[in-house]
Amino acid sequence: LRSGSSRPLGALPSGSEERVLPAVSVAVMHALRESVRRLAEEARDLYLNDAVPYLDKPPTPLEFQRSWLCPNKPFIVRDAISHWPAISKWTFPYLRQEVGEQSVSVAVTPNGYADAVHQGRFMMPEERKMRFGEFLDIVERKRAASGVFYVQKQCSNLTEEFPQLLKDVDAHIPWMTEALGKDPDAVNFWMGESAAVTSLHKDHYENLYCVISGEKHFILLPPTDRPFIPYEHFQPATYKVNEDGSYDVIDMQNAEKVPWIPLDPLNPDLSRFPEYSLARPTHCTVRAGEMLYLPSLWFHHVRQSHGCIAVNFWYDMEYDIKYNYFQFLDSVTKVMNAV
């Protein structure tokens, strides 16, 4: 302390903190923003591809580890699943014969957006149990229905709800299983109308997405673009379909708000989310017989052709330094956005 003063040596006079600290904070925030901008730019310059590359054959386990898993990069394999019986067998008549009477879970929404932000809420679909044959009637437009229908339940619904179809696909992807040293956590079946859209999000899985028929349209953003992707917290709610075909929105009582991305990458509102202009989304289409490797923590938005059928394999990611670095970047982004 200075003689006769209660102020520590080198401390600013009373009132100076209010004048100087905001300037320091602004400088620090500017430095942080510039650092994360350079991080994303360097990732694109050093190792990310301008477009998702195609492989003519699946990688070996070692090639996958070295070239794709460790650098966390997506790719598409042509003719990856041409040996699956499903490629030729999964027609509508065959599916009716094999699983038409099976009771399955179907997501029903008024607009095709399940698990997405709509009118200030995080909206979840009405999850309806129905015969798969009824669902096919709607997809084939043999009967009218209010809303958009999508088989999208992700708790390994292929093994749980469509066991009759397991004989038509591989139980796992051998090179991925060997590379990771484990079996997939879940194998999921996807089928729906063209209006069904998966909103922008990320998963903690190494994802192999296989298209049986039709095509899927992906918008991909790497984890290093996290600072440019907005998150907000929303009241969770579910849709409820009434007998007259109208929809009610039912708020979940006493539920924590859900952090989700309110931005639509098909039509981003840059006046509301200007930072997104620094992101560099990549577009790709996965067609019948092809397989997309979608690395863990990549943000993705998905559309599809009408009646598209797909199967994906989720392998749990390794919670290693890659995960730690992403969590750190996520925390820094939250701090910047809070100032």
Question: Tens digits of per-residue pLDDT, 130-171?
Answer: 999 999 999 999 999 999 999 999 899 999 999 999 999 999
Distance CA 329, CA 297 (A): 12
Per-residue pLDDT of the chain (339 residues; tens, 9 = 90+): 434 444 343 343 444 444 444 665 888 889 999 999 999 999 999 999 999 999 999 999 999 999 999 999 999 999 999 999 999 999 999 999 999 999 999 999 999 999 999 999 999 999 999 999 999 999 999 999 999 999 999 899 999 999 999 999 999 999 999 999 999 999 999 999 999 999 999 999 999 999 999 999 999 999 999 999 999 999 999 999 999 999 999 999 999 999 999 999 999 999 999 999 999 999 999 999 999 999 999 999 999 999 999 999 999 999 999 999 999 999 999 999 987
What pLDDT, on a 0 to 100 scale, did the predictor assign at position 154?
87
Residue 127 is classified by DSSP as E
Tell me the DSSP string of 54-79.
EESSPPPHHHHIIIIITTT--EEETT
Give bridge partners of residue 287 from the DSSP assignment.
215
| The dihedral formed by the CA atoms of 326, 68, 185 and 100, expressed in degrees to the nearest 10 | 120
User: What does the DSSP assignment read for 168-215?
Assistant: GS-SS-HHHHHHHTS--SEEEEEEE-TT-EEEEE--SEEEEEEEEESE
- Cα separation, 334 vs 337, in Å, equals 5
Q: Which contiguous run of DSSP H or E holds residue 108?
A: strand 103-109
* pTM of the full structure: 0.91
d(CA 186, CA 206): 11
Rg of the chain on CA atoms, in Å: 24
Look at residue 24 in the predicted model and tell me its pLDDT: 58
* Helix %, strand %, coil % of the chain (to 5): 30, 30, 40
26: Cα separation from own chain's centroid: 33
DSSP 22: H
pLDDT of residue 90: 98
What dihedral angle (degrees, nearest 10) is formed by the CA atoms of 153, 156, 157, 158? 140
Q: Whole-angstrom Cα distance, residue 292 to residue 190? A: 15
Q: What does the pLDDT read at residue 9?
A: 37
pLDDT of residue 223: 98
145, amino acid identity: A
- Closest by CA to 279, choosing from 300, 295, 304, is 300
pLDDT at 28: 87
Tokens 């903690």 correspond to what residue? 204
Residue at token pair 């044959």: 133
**Do 74 and 122 form a contact (C-beta atoms < 8 A)?**
no
Q: What are phi and psi of 119, to 5 degrees?
A: 50, 45
